[in-house]
Amino acid sequence: MDLKSGYPFWPVKNGLLHTYPALHKDLTCDVVVIGGGITGALVAYHLAEAGMETVVLDKRHIAWGSTSATTALLQYEIDTPLCDLIEMVGEDHAVRSYLACADAIDKIAALVKKIGNECGFVRKSSLYLASYKSHAPALKREYAARKKHGIRLEWLDQQQIEARWPFRRPAALLSEKGAQVDAYQLAHALLQAGIQTGLQVYDRSEVTKIDHSPRRVHLTTEHGAKITTKKIVFACGYESQKYLKRQVAQLISTYALASEPLDTSSWPDGSLIWESARPYLYLRTTEDGRVIMGGEDEEFTDPTARDKLIPRKTARLQRKFQALFPHLEMEVAFSWAGTFGETKDGLAYIDKSPDLPNAWFALGYGGNGITYSVLAAEIIRDAILDKPNPYADLFRFER
Ligand SMILES: Cc1cc2nc3c(=O)[nH]c(=O)nc-3n(C[C@H](O)[C@H](O)[C@H](O)COP(=O)(O)OP(=O)(O)OC[C@H]3O[C@@H](n4cnc5c(N)ncnc54)[C@H](O)[C@@H]3O)c2cc1C
């Protein structure tokens, strides 16, 4: 699958941070993590830290899949508003899912501190705009639902928005909790930290064959290397579906750009910005004063059709930015397209395989995929260690 195209900002900004060998020898270990994007890096780091002999295999270069294309807004807000999620999965399940995502942001804060590399992690507030006047009542209900369950946020009416931002919108929710990060850098930093505790990382090593026996899993890579392991974790991002019998996500295309640096002083707190329209627009800033934004989703993934649209989608994103910040002249520096996965309720799938023994899935699908990946890392580590995890029941295949 062609996960992205065009010029994503992160790999160009960071360059080749670290190199990893391809696997050319046979191995035995406790756990193999298939996928070396942000999800695989988080899972592997946690497993290695817990003392498990862990091997990461990626068929591309490390972090070269969706992780290189992400805009990396870290939000506790799930694509499905809390009010709607309550209707879908019940109040307890929905509220705990929101609170788990909020907790995940603190977990990333603690993690970057622990590995001694911030990786562009900065806490930010999150501004959720009513795209149209007709969306304001739903936002009001959403505000009440979140408030009721202890989430700290502010209701802003049109005047209050206009007093703080250079644009006019009928209503907005301003949440304290949010953050942004450089996920490409974070994936490398976590793997490097893991390597210090014995983690083995191989890229350009596609897993081409998987055989399950009751107590072991036998893997073969494209170079013929054979690995015998007790457990495997699928952290293959949007390419994981082929390992599942049931379709769990709809894959779509999304578009993103990064601007040249500009003066973002009229953007209070550099808040993460998104909106109630679907598909939604999402925006953030970078440490070097760029704007990164995405949206304009299309319900297909064919790379040729997707890539043909990059110039048109970039122009549309740019126009949408100018509508929000008319006084800022934005010049596009990078634009790209990526595959994106959505689930029926906006929740991730983090669970034991329903079909295969000794296998787990870490599928952080949805707009806050990275926050889900942090939860996945802890849930899977605890499951393998046979320890309880407070969030394990939230992201099961059967829900
Ligand atoms: C444009 C865009 C904007 C986004 N914005 C946000 C955002 O603002 N916030 C957010 O939280 N999320 C966002 N996302 C989603 C987020 O990027 C993803 O959730 C995240 O990158 C997924 O990471 P991953 O490690 O699971 O997948 P990937 O980064 O794709 O990594 C999976 C890896 O598995 C490897 N692999 C697959 N099959 C095999 C195999 N058989 N053998 C070996 N290796 C294999 C692949 O090569 C790949 O490197 C966005 C996504 C896109 C595309």
Of 177, 84, 91, the residue nearest 128 (C-alpha): 177
Share of the chain above pLDDT 70, in %: 100
Is 358 touching ligand 1 by the criterion CB < 6 Å?
Answer: no
Model confidence band, residue 41 (pLDDT cutoffs 50, 70, 90)? very high
pLDDT digits (tens, 9 = 90+) for 53-85: 999 999 999 999 999 999 999 999 999 999 999
Instruction: Locate the ligand 1 atom nearest the alpha carbon of residue 338 and give its number.
Output: 53
Is 34 touching ligand 1 by the criterion CB < 6 Å?
Answer: yes
Q: What's the pLDDT score for residue 20? A: 98
Query: Could you name the CATH architecture of 4-70+184-247+346-395?
Result: 3-Layer(bba) Sandwich (3.50)
* Residue extents of the structural domains in the chain: 4-70+184-247+346-395, 123-178+249-342
Is 227 touching ligand 1 by the criterion CB < 6 Å?
Answer: no
- Cβ neighbours around 355 below 10 Å, total: 12
- Do 4-70+184-247+346-395 and 123-178+249-342 fold alike per CATH? no
CA distance 239 to 85: 26
Could you give the strand order of the β-sheet that contains 291-298, starting from the edge strand earlier in sequence? 4-6, 332-342, 250-259, 291-298, 282-285, 272-275, 126-129, 171-175, 153-157
Per-residue pLDDT at 1 exceeds 80: no
Contacts of 163 (CB under 8 A, 6+ apart): none
Model confidence band, residue 164 (pLDDT cutoffs 50, 70, 90)? very high
Residue 346 tokens, joined: 């906006």
Per-residue pLDDT at 4 exceeds 80: no
Average pLDDT over residues 385-392: 98
Residue 397 tokens, joined: 């295949």
Mean predicted lDDT score pLDDT of the chain: 96
Q: Which residue has the higher pLDDT, 2 or 208?
A: 208
CA distance 394 to 48: 25
pTM recorded for the entire structure: 0.98
CA distance 292 to 71: 7
Query: Residue 335's beta-bridge partner residues?
Result: 257
Per-residue pLDDT at 5 exceeds 90: no
The one-character DSSP state at 23 is P
Residue 68 tokens, joined: 């290189």
**Backbone angles phi and psi of 218, in degrees to 5:** -115, 120
Secondary element (H or E) of residue 180: strand 179-180
Q: What's the pLDDT score for residue 391? A: 98
Model confidence band, residue 266 (pLDDT cutoffs 50, 70, 90)? confident
Instruction: Locate the ligand 1 atom nearest the alpha carbon of residue 221 and give its number.
Output: 42
Contacts of 38 (CB under 8 A, 6+ apart): 63, 67, 70, 183, 186, 187, 370, 373
> Which amino acid makes up residue 398?
E
pLDDT digits (tens, 9 = 90+) for 93-144: 999 999 999 999 999 999 999 999 999 999 999 999 999 999 999 999 999 9
> Which amino acid makes up residue 243?
Y
Model confidence band, residue 155 (pLDDT cutoffs 50, 70, 90)? very high
CA distance 85 to 346: 8
Which of 4-18, 198-212, 311-325, 348-362 has the lowest average pLDDT?
4-18
Average pLDDT over residues 1-20: 89
**123-178+249-342 maps to CATH 3.30.9.10:** yes
Is 295 touching ligand 1 by the criterion CB < 6 Å?
Answer: no
Q: What's the pLDDT score for residue 66? A: 96
C-beta of residue 91 within 8 angstroms of C-beta of residue 83: no
For 185, 260, 326, the CA distances from 132, given in Å and listed in that order, are 37, 30, 19
C-beta of residue 285 within 8 angstroms of C-beta of residue 244: no
pLDDT digits (tens, 9 = 90+) for 167-183: 999 999 999 999 999 99
Is 40 touching ligand 1 by the criterion CB < 6 Å?
Answer: yes
Q: Which residue has the higher pLDDT, 351 or 6?
A: 351
Strand, helix or coil at 248?
coil
> Which amino acid makes up residue 277?
A
Long-range contacts of 137-141 (CB under 8 A, 24+ apart): 138/81, 138/83, 138/276, 139/171, 139/172, 139/173, 139/276, 140/171, 141/83
pLDDT digits (tens, 9 = 90+) for 216-265: 999 999 999 999 999 999 999 999 999 999 999 999 999 999 999 999 98
Average pLDDT over residues 4-12: 87
Per-residue pLDDT at 34 exceeds 80: yes
Q: What's the pLDDT score for residue 7? A: 79
Output the residue whose Cα is nearest ligand 1's atom 27: 237
Output the residue whose Cα is nearest ligand 1's atom 17: 70
